[in-house]
């Protein structure tokens, strides 16, 4: 899925502008909250709960070690958010925080388990009530997100919340196949998932470029297919327990019959070609595919699935199924003969045959199959769940057949699109909106997906977050929670708190920036970094050549997918263009543009000294030119002295050129400057 | 030791100025290196080794799992420093990196083991040769510190290094008694110790405020004495193994007979008073002390030391021995009778009796005793090692008696003194310089000490580092390596790389700053943060009331001990005062002073909204006033228009007032402004 999946075309300019126009209606009390996702129902009270003395937390009703651990984690995070150490001895000043739990949750977290909670905060007391530990954990996160500092201490405002998720399947997929992502980084992401109330970690474990899970039955899978970079079964058990402690399911994915070259290095007999096979070190879609015609393939998969389902307790098991190009099948006379014999008229039919065989094996081990769009056929068994990278249309087709579905189209975080764009994608919109209410229930939710062609352990967390939290709100909060400005306000708060959510930081990676300039002052590079973005969708690969071991240590790797500064500037420019700008807006726009114009003179000499900054020279000039155009437009607007048509055409042409990627980066303030030029014309 | 130890008086002004004047002579090739500590011998070659394709690292000669792990760690850090992923398959472009090891190191790292290494870097090849793995590990760190980015890639310059430490005992003590410091933070510090070639982690494990080590023989020690915050024996084993993998010994300290109130909560029969005892929640020196007169005390300690020496394999065992105020002894008639009966004429004699009894128990378990100054008596056994918080004089006295010593006076990092001040303290200076060469050999080295009254897990690493690296250089590098400017240049490089040395950052703690202002823009608070410092020595306790559970979440806790900006400004002011300033110096001084003067207007409204910033209002005004005086002085200097005597007196009086702590902080640019005022007078 990572490589070739296409999303609806959207130029940078259009995306940014549409994100500015997209905004829902603030819904009362919710609009004042800082939580992400927003809860279903809130009633604000008066006064607030002061927590400067700590809290006296007690567990009532059902209790188990997981709740004890949740309480400890809560107190630790509360300490981190406030700098107030937990007082071991209850004191007079400590308000009661009562957690009342109804009963146990399922031994293995089940899809659709009750995740609701009721939270009452008053100046003297907190009550958190939930049917089971899942709701308790969500309620604790809500409370933590509402902590704020005031002139009278760290407080949580008085309020009553009744909350539950809109969708039962709210996931994050991490591709650990293309780049190995160590366990500490996965744990960090699971901590952040807990904060955002996501509940499914989809662990993409095998790819052409690496087989990442230890098999004891077939040890050559990891021994020959991973460069030594794989998870042991013991580590998988640990991560599953870690996730369960946070109310998160773990769904493993072993991609087949395609995307499987790494399997064939140790077991070439599984493949449809002649081999020998080696780990693929490039990105793309490749020919190797399992041989669906041999019984030995299914005997292998039977034992393999038996082993893996013994490790992963979740009821769902993902078999991939995407992007088989069929070239090995076409080239193999034995496979062609098999197809004729079995009346399989094309490769899609052959894959359907393979899927149905594998699905039976998954069922044999009492698991439910999940697969990407391609596994859906008219006769696909009704319990197979379709994960769609193609869009709501696929899910609608599936639902009409009675198959359940999960949306990932629109939630591909590796495409570097703005949070607002992901936020605007609803699993029940588009073709899915046409479904009957009963059919709509078959759409279980969605999953953000992070494919890892351009992700290393130091990059990936800052690229997943905070945008995955915007998707989390789409999947948790009521359908009418769609105010983009509110989302961005709360996303900034979420980002600020990320150091306490698993030790991650959002925004520009400063250590990477410092590395780029050696021991020099990085300030001018940071100025450039603050307004550039990585290219969107799949254009990066066309701008330079990359493979598994390409260093990812340039500016494109150190900046977030979406520039906050550029977004704010573009919003400001939109206000100016709409005639709604304040004097401060004009001043701020001018200040920014001056900084960007003048930065080039300081930055240029710095760039030449380092092999990883040299190619930024033209981009720094581009920013200067963009800013110069912006300042000219601003000045014309201020003087009510319009551009002539020819002047405007010249500026528009220049901006068109400046819009093009340079050093594998885009100048993200071009859209705002374009608005200023347009305004200066009128 | 943490609380009451006193160091030589040194006002802020004098310290800063003396640090500016203190500077040694650059010693050839060493001056161009970026390593900290500097190696003993360096010969620079020509060209450099380009590592953009990774390195082909091979182990020759002796090898063991520890070397394999060191190699893996090396490759991981090299990846982090360059962003270049390690290539699993050797390629044509990879230079050879040959590690040749002579033989095994001792099964338990021994004091004085050979730590030398020989490192040759040429454009095509690296050779690292060492008698044993300890030297290999040091050589790998040296190599990592020399990686730099150039216009032709990440490189290490060609050179040949022969290196070994000046002192065999180069330590860092962390007090985990007063505030519990979790294992991940200790591991982070051990990673940083490895980077700085320190080789002893002194683990201060018990205090009046907490007993932090699990005892299975006497479980009430941790059960009643730790608030549940202690290390299990399993965790201790893990940390010891972690340290050994990095060439670092672990010396445990159990402080007795004083600083031991936490022991008595579970075992009051050990104490000299009547009890009952509870964990002490304040800072200071307290009365509780073990009863040295009862045989049961020694029976307890016999079993306890037997248990603990079974956990800690190091040959040395620290029994504390500091700061017994003797009040419980004075008040106990039975103890008084014992002293008369045994002709122990005062409390010092009683403690000496105690020490000699405990020392025999330590010897019984084949360990060597270490204790603070107070354990030294004329008849102290020769093998007892004295750790001095009092100064080289104590070590000289010890050495003349034949006792070995370690210097910690001058290396107390919790006193918030500048790196230059610690750097200026030599274990063989002062009274120790008078010793014979044979006696000097008894001075084994030194230890930085971090007492934790004002340290929490989020604060401590940023307060220990980078200053502990300056002390590390004093203990490793030749005696004549004393150029403070060079040290600060390299300390800045060390700080920049800290994110890769265990994931820590130096400088202002930005997450804490953000927490202080909630969701507001922290820029103006960061401006203030950049030029203030925590109060020095023991003044903090006199400025506010603190105890174990006081929140440490204010500006004083979020800033480093030494402000880089203030130091640079003060150096710049010293150049102006000395008539050696460039035009850029003047401009930079003016720019800074204007920023500081104008910051108050932006910062004031922000401060009132948060309970943890409110008290900063006067400090922000102070900075404005300091800067205003500085700008006036600068203008006078520029115009050659001297202050009159009365004008100068007024300014000096104002600066005297501005020098006083405010909101438990000091305005660290006052010394520089004072120099400007002085210059403007002449």
In sequence order, what DSSP letters do the residues of B240-288 get, joined into one string? HHHHHTTT-EEEEE---SSS-HHHHHH-GGGBSS--------B-S--S-
User: Tokens 């608070």 correspond to what residue?
Assistant: B525
> What letter would DSSP give residue B499?
G
Residue A22: predicted pLDDT: 33
Same domain assignment for residues A111 and A187: no
- Asked if the C-beta of A516 comes within 8 angstroms of chain B's C-beta atoms, the answer is yes
Residue A502: predicted pLDDT: 80
Shortest Cα distance from B554 to chain A (angstroms)?
9
- Asked if the C-beta of A500 comes within 8 angstroms of chain B's C-beta atoms, the answer is yes
pLDDT digits (tens, 9 = 90+) for B475-490: 999 999 999 999 999 9
Q: Which residues of A are catalytic?
A: 323
Q: How confident is the model at residue A40 (pLDDT cuts 50, 70, 90)?
A: very high
Same domain assignment for residues B72 and B92: yes
- What's the token pair of residue B153? 């890639």
pLDDT digits (tens, 9 = 90+) for A217-274: 999 999 999 999 999 999 999 999 999 999 999 999 999 999 999 999 999 999 999 9
Task: Test B518 with A153 for CB contact under 8 angstroms.
Answer: no
A4 is a domain residue: no
Is pLDDT of A17 > 50? no
Residue B31: predicted pLDDT: 61
Q: Which residue of B has its CA nearest to A613?
A: B151
Task: Test B611 with A152 for CB contact under 8 angstroms.
Answer: yes
Of A535 and A548, more confident: A535
Task: Test B149 with A82 for CB contact under 8 angstroms.
Answer: no
Shortest Cα distance from A148 to chain B (angstroms)?
6
The full length of chain B comes to 682
Lowest mean pLDDT among A322-326, B376-380, B413-417: B376-380
Mean pLDDT, rounded, for B101-113 = 97
pLDDT digits (tens, 9 = 90+) for A568-598: 999 999 999 999 999 999 999 999 999 999 9
Same domain assignment for residues A188 and A159: no
Q: d(Cα A269, Cα A127) in Å, to the nearest integer?
A: 60
B355 is a domain residue: yes
Task: Test B82 with A150 for CB contact under 8 angstroms.
Answer: no
Q: d(Cα A243, Cα A648) in Å, to the nearest integer?
A: 56
Backbone angles phi, psi at B201, to 5 degrees: -100, 110
Among residues B107, B134, B163, which one ends one of the domains?
B163
Task: Test B88 with A612 for CB contact under 8 angstroms.
Answer: no
- Asked if the C-beta of A223 comes within 8 angstroms of chain B's C-beta atoms, the answer is no
Is pLDDT of B112 > 60? yes
Is pLDDT of B7 > 70? no
Interface test with A, best of B68, B510, B515 (most A CBs within 10 A): B515
- Which among A117, A119, A123 has a CA at the least distance from the CA of A51? A123
Is pLDDT of B8 > 90? no
Among residues B438, B465, B500, which one ends one of the domains?
B500
Report the percentage of chain A scoring pLDDT > 90.
90
Q: Average model confidence (pLDDT) for chain B?
A: 93
Residues of A in contact with B551 (CB under 8 A): 52, 82-85
A300 is a domain residue: no
Give the E-state strand segments of B393-461 in sequence order: 404-407, 443-450
Shortest Cα distance from A83 to chain B (angstroms)?
5
Backbone angles phi, psi at A98, to 5 degrees: -95, 125
Same domain assignment for residues B385 and B528: no
pLDDT digits (tens, 9 = 90+) for A494-518: 999 998 888 888 999 999 999 999 9
Same domain assignment for residues A677 and A613: yes
Interface test with B, best of A146, A224, A553 (most B CBs within 10 A): A553
Same domain assignment for residues A176 and A158: no
Residue A24: predicted pLDDT: 33
Is pLDDT of B10 > 90? no
Nearest beta carbon to residue B83 from set A82, A88, A551 = A551
Same domain assignment for residues B16 and B50: no
- State whether the Cα torsion B6-B7-B11-B12 is positive or negative: negative
Same domain assignment for residues A139 and A180: no
pLDDT digits (tens, 9 = 90+) for A632-680: 999 999 999 999 999 999 999 999 999 999 999 999 999 999 999 999 9
Q: d(Cα A655, Cα A232) in Å, to the nearest integer?
A: 52
Mean pLDDT, rounded, for A607-616 = 96
Among residues B500, B529, B558, which one ends one of the domains?
B500
Same domain assignment for residues B544 and B474: no
Domain count, chain A: 3
Residue B268: predicted pLDDT: 98
Residue B5: predicted pLDDT: 34
Mean pLDDT, rounded, for A106-116 = 97
Task: Test A519 with B34 for CB contact under 8 angstroms.
Answer: yes
- Asked if the C-beta of B134 comes within 8 angstroms of chain A's C-beta atoms, the answer is no
Residue A154 belongs to domain with CATH number: 3.30.379.10
Task: Test B496 with A512 for CB contact under 8 angstroms.
Answer: no
B109 is a domain residue: yes
Residue A15: predicted pLDDT: 32
Residue A503: predicted pLDDT: 81
B234 is a domain residue: yes
Residues of A in contact with B614 (CB under 8 A): 151
Backbone angles phi, psi at B405, to 5 degrees: -145, 160
Q: How confident is the model at residue A25 (pLDDT cuts 50, 70, 90)?
A: very low
CB proximity under 8 Å: A 346-385 to B: none
Mean pLDDT, rounded, for B161-172 = 98
Mean pLDDT, rounded, for A191-211 = 98
B578 is a domain residue: yes
Task: Test A515 with B227 for CB contact under 8 angstroms.
Answer: no
B311 is a domain residue: no
Is pLDDT of B90 > 80? no
Task: Test B551 with A85 for CB contact under 8 angstroms.
Answer: yes
Q: How confident is the model at residue A65 (pLDDT cuts 50, 70, 90)?
A: very high
- Which among B420, B427, B495, B422 has a CA at the least distance from the CA of B461? B495
Residue B30: predicted pLDDT: 61
Shortest Cα distance from A176 to chain B (angstroms)?
15
Residue B545: predicted pLDDT: 92
- Asked if the C-beta of A52 comes within 8 angstroms of chain B's C-beta atoms, the answer is yes
Same domain assignment for residues A520 and A495: no
> What letter would DSSP give residue B547?
B
Same domain assignment for residues A19 and A142: no
Is pLDDT of B25 > 80? no
Residue A408 belongs to domain with CATH number: 3.20.20.80
A219 is a domain residue: yes
Q: Which residue of B has its CA nearest to A227?
A: B88
- Asked if the C-beta of A508 comes within 8 angstroms of chain B's C-beta atoms, the answer is no
- Which among B256, B251, B221, B229 has a CA at the least distance from the CA of B239? B251
pLDDT digits (tens, 9 = 90+) for A447-494: 999 999 999 999 999 999 999 999 999 999 999 999 999 999 999 999
Is pLDDT of A14 > 80? no
Shortest Cα distance from A369 to chain B (angstroms)?
34
Task: Test A83 with B514 for CB contact under 8 angstroms.
Answer: no
Residues of B in contact with A456 (CB under 8 A): 83, 85
Range of the domain at A522: 9-23+507-681
Residues of B in contact with A492 (CB under 8 A): 519
- Which among A412, A406, A481 has a CA at the least distance from the CA of A443? A406
Distances (CA, A) of A622 to A12, A416, A455, A629, A670: 16, 21, 27, 11, 10
- Which among B51, B159, B198 has a CA at the least distance from the CA of B501? B198
Same domain assignment for residues A623 and A488: no
- Asked if the C-beta of A107 comes within 8 angstroms of chain B's C-beta atoms, the answer is no
Q: d(Cα B217, Cα A147) in Å, to the nearest integer?
A: 43
- Which among A369, A374, A400, A402 has a CA at the least distance from the CA of A388? A374
Residue A90: predicted pLDDT: 63
pLDDT digits (tens, 9 = 90+) for B359-399: 999 999 999 999 999 999 888 899 999 999 999 999 999 99
Task: Test A154 with B611 for CB contact under 8 angstroms.
Answer: yes
Task: Test A83 with B612 for CB contact under 8 angstroms.
Answer: yes
Residues of B in contact with A52 (CB under 8 A): 551, 611
Q: Average model confidence (pLDDT) for chain A?
A: 93
Q: Which residues of B are catalytic?
A: 323
């Amino acid at each position: 899925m990572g490589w070739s999946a296409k999303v609806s075309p959207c130029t940078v300019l259009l995306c940014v502008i549409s994100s500015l126009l997209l905004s829902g209606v603030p819904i009362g009390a919710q609009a004042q909250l800082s939580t992400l996702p927003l809860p279903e129902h809130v009633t604000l009270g008066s006064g607030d709960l002061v927590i400067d003395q700590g809290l006296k937390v007690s567990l009532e009703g059902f209790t188990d070690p997981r709740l004890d651990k949740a309480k400890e984690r809560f107190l630790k995070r509360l300490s981190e958010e406030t700098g107030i150490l937990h007082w071991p001895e209850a004191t007079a000043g400590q308000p009661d925080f009562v957690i009342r739990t109804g009963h146990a949750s399922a031994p293995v977290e089940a899809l659709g388990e009750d995740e609701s909670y009721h939270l009452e905060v008053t100046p003297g007391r907190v009550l958190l009530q939930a049917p089971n530990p899942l709701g308790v954990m969500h309620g604790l996160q809500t409370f933590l997100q509402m902590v704020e500092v005031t002139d009278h201490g760290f407080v949580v405002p008085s309020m009553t919340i009744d909350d539950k998720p809109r969708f039962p399947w709210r996931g994050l997929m991490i591709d650990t196949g293309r780049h190995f992502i160590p366990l500490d980084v996965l744990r960090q992401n699971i901590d952040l998932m807990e904060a955002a109330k996501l509940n499914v970690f989809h662990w993409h474990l095998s790819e052409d470029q690496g087989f990442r899970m230890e098999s004891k039955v077939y040890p050559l899978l990891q021994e020959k297919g991973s460069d030594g970079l794989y998870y042991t079964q013991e580590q998988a058990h640990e991560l599953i327990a870690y996730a369960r402690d946070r109310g998160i399911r773990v769904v493993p994915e072993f991609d087949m019959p395609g995307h499987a070259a790494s399997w064939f290095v140790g077991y070439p007999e599984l493949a449809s070609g002649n081999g020998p096979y080696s780990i693929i070190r490039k990105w793309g879609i490749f020919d190797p595919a399992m041989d669906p015609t041999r019984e030995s393939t299914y005997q292998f998969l039977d034992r393999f699935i038996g082993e893996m389902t013994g490790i992963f307790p979740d009821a769902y098991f993902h078999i991939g199924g995407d992007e088989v190009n069929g070239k090995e099948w076409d080239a193999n006379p034995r496979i062609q003969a098999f197809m004729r014999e079995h009346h399989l008229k094309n490769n899609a039919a052959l894959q359907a045959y393979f899927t149905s065989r594998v699905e039976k094996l998954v069922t044999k081990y009492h698991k439910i199959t999940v697969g990407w769009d391609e596994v859906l056929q008219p006769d696909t068994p009704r319990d197979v769940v379709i994960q769609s990278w193609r869009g709501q249309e696929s899910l609608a087709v599936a639902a009409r057949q009675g198959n359940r579905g999960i949306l990932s189209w629109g939630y591909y975080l590796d495409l570097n699109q703005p949070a607002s764009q992901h936020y605007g994608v609803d699993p029940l919109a588009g073709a899915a909106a046409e479904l009957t209410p009963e059919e709509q229930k078959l759409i279980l939710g969605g999953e953000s997906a992070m494919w890892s062609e351009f992700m290393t352990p130091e990059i990936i967390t800052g690229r997943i977050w905070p945008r995955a939290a915007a998707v989390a709100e789409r999947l948790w909060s009521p359908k009418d929670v769609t105010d983009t400005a509110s989302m961005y306000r709360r996303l900034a708060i979420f980002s600020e708190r990320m150091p306490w959510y698993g030790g991650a930081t959002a925004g520009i990676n400063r250590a990477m920036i410092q590395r780029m300039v050696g021991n020099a002052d990085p300030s001018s590079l940071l100025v450039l970094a603050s307004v550039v973005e990585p290219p969107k969708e799949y254009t990066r690969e066309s701008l330079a050549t990359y493979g598994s071991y390409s260093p990812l240590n340039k500016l494109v790797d150190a900046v977030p997918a979406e520039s906050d500064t550029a977004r704010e500037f573009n919003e400001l420019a939109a206000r100016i263009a709409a005639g709604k700008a304040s004097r401060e807006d004009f001043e701020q726009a001018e200040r920014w543009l001056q900084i960007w114009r003048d930065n080039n003179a300081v930055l240029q000499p710095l760039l030449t000294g380092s092999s990883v900054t040299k190619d930024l020279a033209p981009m720094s000039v581009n920013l200067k030119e963009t800013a110069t155009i912006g300042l000219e437009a601003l000045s014309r607007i201020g003087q009510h002295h319009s551009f002539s048509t020819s002047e405007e055409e010249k500026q528009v042409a220049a901006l068109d050129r400046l819009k093009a990627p340079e050093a594998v980066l885009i100048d993200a303030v071009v859209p705002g400057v374009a608005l200023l030029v347009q305004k200066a014309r009128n």
